[in-house]
Structures are given as C-alpha cells and as structure tokens.
C-alpha cells in the first residue's frame, strides 16, 4: 500500500523562494500524516503563466511582455544551481517521494529558455527524472519551449510503478503508451487547475491503463498575484474571479472515484493505493501485457536529451 498526499494549493505566484518554502512546509505536513508519495501541480514553482491571455501575450517584440518574461525567467528553477536541494532534503527526511511541477531554466539549453517540467524525486531525496513537456499548449508556447522524450520514464516504488505527464500531454495516446510499456500502474497527471480538465479524463485514463489515475491541480485567484510582479494590477484585472478552480482527484483502476474532484477549495487530502486492485483489473485487460500485440503495432521512443551540439574529443 502507498499513502498518497494530494495537496491542492494556491501558489506563491512567481516567487521561487516562497513557492519552494510552501512545497517544503506541505511535505512536512504530509510527513506528519505518514504519506509515502506527494504530488504537486503543473509549474507549481514558480507558477503557471496566467498573465498571457489578458495582457496581450502574443504581441510581438512587446516591452511589457519582455519585462514579465524576464521576471518569470528570473524566478524559474535551475536544477544545476541547487534550487531543489532543500526540497530533496525534506523528502529524504520524510522518507517520501514526490512529483513536482516546475518551470525549468536548464543550463543544457542556454540557461534562458524555459520548460514546463515534471520532476520525480525518490524517497532518498534523489532526483530520478525531469520530464520536459513535449508540446506546450496554445498560449503556453509564448513562454515555454518544447521538451523531449528523455523524461518519459517510470519509477518503481514498493509494489507500484509510477509515471507522470504534464497537462494536455495526458491527451496524447503515444505519450501514455510510452509509460504503459514500462509497466506504469499509477499515472500522475499534473494540471494548472480546472475541473474541466480532470473530471472526465482522470477516470478514462484509469480505465484505459487499468491503473490508479491521479490528477493534481492548483487554485489561482486575482489575490494570488504578488505585488512585486511586473504589471501586477493589470494582471489581477485580467484574470477574472478564479482562472484555476482546482479539480484534483484520484480514480481507481476500475474508473471509480477514490477522491472526487475538489472544486474551489485549498487543502491536502489523503488516500491509500492498493496494488491488488491493479492486479484485479489487469485480469481482463493489460495494455502493455497480454492485451498488446507488439508483433503488429509498436511504439519507438527517442529518449535522448536534445541539445544544439554534440562535442567529440577534447578534454
């Protein structure tokens, strides 16, 4: 059995240090409840780019958009600089694993472009994978670069095999198949936050994969825009009442609810995942086992981390 912590939170928006402190405090609270695994929403640190829609995000070469982007980039996570070290230490102390949604500014892609990444950290506090979102959705492409297949991996935890995808990647059949092929039986889908994304798809993914399906979302309100954010007042006015209303939920391998979608509320809920329920549902359908036909259809995954140059020779 795995005890899952599902924190639906409002972000410390566009403030990396405050967001990381919130993550660590939430881990400590979950440790007091003896959680084994905790999951956080898409781009939780430092936050989702909610400003784009209402502030002319697509205006080309626009000074306002450049200023907001520069602030966003400054608050992003560079793993090589140790930004996640304290989170890893907190998880190690708690003997807890985590999926954490971040906006990543990696040094292997210039140190300036941003990626929507889903990071898996194990119970020993080690970062085991960083999955960069394959295809940012719609206006997200104005700030996030497309990722690669390097992070399309699963992780063994007890009697379970865990995998995770960002937001609308969960609609991509081949991305899901890449995880099914590696034995995934707990699927973690991270979202910026809205029930319209989670209510139907979470149960469908559970039935398709005969897996536990976990959707984790955030809450976002105008008051969550911090004063130090460039053009804060304009962004607040553009957001509406609640651009992200949550919808975090968990479905069992038969598609029934373990935790129904939580709407408009902040809080951490807990549930236990039982591997026997996976085994029961795999009796009649196993998407990468007895019900697959690799002699007829197979998926080829390029798992190489993409970079601009490969260097041969040298010291």
Q: What are the catalytic residues?
A: 42, 133, 167
Whether 83 contacts 108, CB under 8 Å: no
Find the distance separating the first CA and the last CA of the chain, reported in whole Å: 49
**Closest to 187 in 3D by CA, of 171, 196, 114:** 171
Torsion of CA 177, 182, 183, 185, to 10 degrees: -60
Pairwise CA distance, residues 62 & 48, whole Å: 20
DSSP characters over 24-37: HHHHHHHHHTT-SE
Angle at 12 between CA 11 and CA 16, to 5 degrees: 120
Which residues have CB under 8 Å from 227's CB, separation 6+? none
Backbone angles phi, psi at 17, to 5 degrees: -65, -45
Tokens of 147: 């990722």
Tokens of 148: 């690669």
Angle at 170 between CA 95 and CA 213, to 5 degrees: 50
**Closest to 116 in 3D by CA, of 79, 82, 91, 143:** 143
CA 313 to chain centroid, in Å, comes to 37
């Amino acid at each position: 059995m795995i005890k899952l912590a599902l924190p639906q939170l409002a972000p410390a928006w566009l403030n990396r240090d405050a967001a990381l402190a919130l993550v660590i405090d939430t881990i400590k609270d979950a440790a007091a409840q003896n959680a084994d695994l905790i999951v956080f929403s898409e781009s939780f640190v430092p936050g989702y780019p909610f400003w784009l829609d209402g502030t002319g995000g697509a205006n080309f070469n626009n000074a306002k958009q450049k200023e907001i982007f520069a602030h966003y980039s400054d608050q992003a996570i560079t793993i090589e600089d140790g930004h996640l070290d304290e989170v890893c230490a907190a998880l190690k102390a708690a003997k807890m694993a985590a999926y954490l949604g971040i906006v990543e500014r990696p040094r292997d892609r210039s140190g300036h472009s941003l990626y929507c990444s889903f990071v898996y950290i194990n119970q020993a506090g080690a970062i085991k994978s960083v999955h960069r979102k394959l295809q940012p959705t719609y206006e997200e492409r104005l700030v996030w670069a497309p990722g690669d297949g390097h992070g399309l991996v699963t992780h063994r935890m007890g009697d379970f095999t865990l995998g995770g995808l960002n937001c609308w990647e969960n609609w991509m059949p081949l991305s899901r198949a890449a995880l099914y092929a590696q034995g995934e039986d707990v699927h973690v889908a991270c979202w910026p936050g809205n029930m319209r994304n989670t209510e139907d798809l979470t149960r469908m993914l559970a039935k398709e994969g005969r897996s536990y399906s976990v959707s984790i979302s955030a809450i976002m309100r105008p008051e969550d825009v911090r004063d130090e954010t460039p053009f804060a007042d304009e962004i607040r006015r553009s957001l509406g009442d609640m651009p992200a209303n949550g919808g975090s939920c968990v479905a069992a391998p038969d598609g029934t609810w373990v935790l129904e979608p939580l709407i408009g509320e902040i809080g951490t809920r807990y549930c236990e995942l039982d591997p026997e329920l996976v085994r029961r549902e795999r009796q009649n359908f196993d998407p990468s086992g007895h019900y697959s036909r690799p002699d007829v259809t197979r998926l080829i995954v390029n798992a190489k981390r993409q970079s601009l140059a490969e260097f041969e020779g040298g010291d």
